Amino acid sequence: MRIATTLFATLGLVASTVIAAPDNKHGNKNNGPLVINKKVLKTSSVPFIPHTGTGLFTNWVGLNVDFKYIQPVFQKVNSTLSLGNGTLISRGESHITVILPPEYDNILSKVGVTMQELNALATKNNRLQRAHFDIECLGRVQAITQPNNVFQQSVQLIVKNYKDILAYRTDVFKLFVKKGGNPALFAAENYQPHITLGFKNRDLFVEDGVFKGKNACFHKVQLK
């Protein structure tokens, strides 16, 4: 998704400088894997939450994740010197964003795709909440944002094996094209799902020059 100019203008950012993480390995000799309750993957009993609004970046689709399994992971990360060091802020909830706010505001809504339609696609037979996925690793992205040279850091669980989520995005693409949308503007597979654990100052996005995929892995996880 290449919509950086629009988003930068909205956020009032001039530029961001991505900085190298000190250690981009999946773990090290001194730290074992981050243990996560495997029940975090069972989202079918967690209610779908619609996200609709009238302002910019208030409309999006997400797969709701039970925060009671994410909160202890955040606390562990934030209390570990080499991971969070007590500097991270939690939103107090957890989800996988499936349709990003800029995708809706700048692309889908322009041809008349509505949030009601997207939510209907998500909730038919509890489709989105029943989506299967797995967790790849603990990821971290960092950047210096302008104009005030502010150090930003975001830590997330990188998601893998998400073909059900991708199938939903593919159906959204079909709806977009059916309504006259230019297929070159929305790519279902151009997508990096993750569960944000916390961030320093504010979250970071692709418009900041960071990518929250397997490339961002820096610590192993273990589901048990």
What is the Cα–Cα distance from 103 to 217, expressed in whole angstroms?
Answer: 25
More confident residue, 165 or 10: 165
pLDDT band with cut points at 50, 70 and 90 for residue 13: very low
Can you give the residue ranges of every domain in the chain? 4-223
- DSSP-derived letter for residue 121 is H
State in Å, rounded, how far the first CA of the chain is from the last one. 35
Lowest mean pLDDT, pick from 43-52, 106-115, 144-153: 144-153
Q: What percent of the chain clears pLDDT 70, i.e. is strictly above it?
A: 86
pLDDT band with cut points at 50, 70 and 90 for residue 48: very high
217 beta partners: 139
Tens of pLDDT, residues 173-195: 999 999 999 999 999 999 999 99
- Rounded mean pLDDT, 67-85: 94
For the cut 60, the answer to whether the pLDDT of residue 8 exceeds it is no
What is the Cα–Cα distance from 217 to 155, expressed in whole angstroms?
Answer: 10
What is the Cα–Cα distance from 213 to 223, expressed in whole angstroms?
Answer: 19
Q: Which two tokens stand for residue 79?
A: 């209390």
162 burial type by CB count under 10 A (0-12 exposed, 13-18 middle, 19+ buried): buried
Q: Which of 6-10, 29-33, 155-159, 206-210 has the highest mean pLDDT?
A: 155-159
**Range list of H helices, 124-220:** 163-178
More confident residue, 98 or 18: 98
What is the Cα–Cα distance from 155 to 81, expressed in whole angstroms?
Answer: 14
Q: Which amino acid is at 200?
A: K
Q: What percent of the chain clears pLDDT 90, i.e. is strictly above it?
A: 80
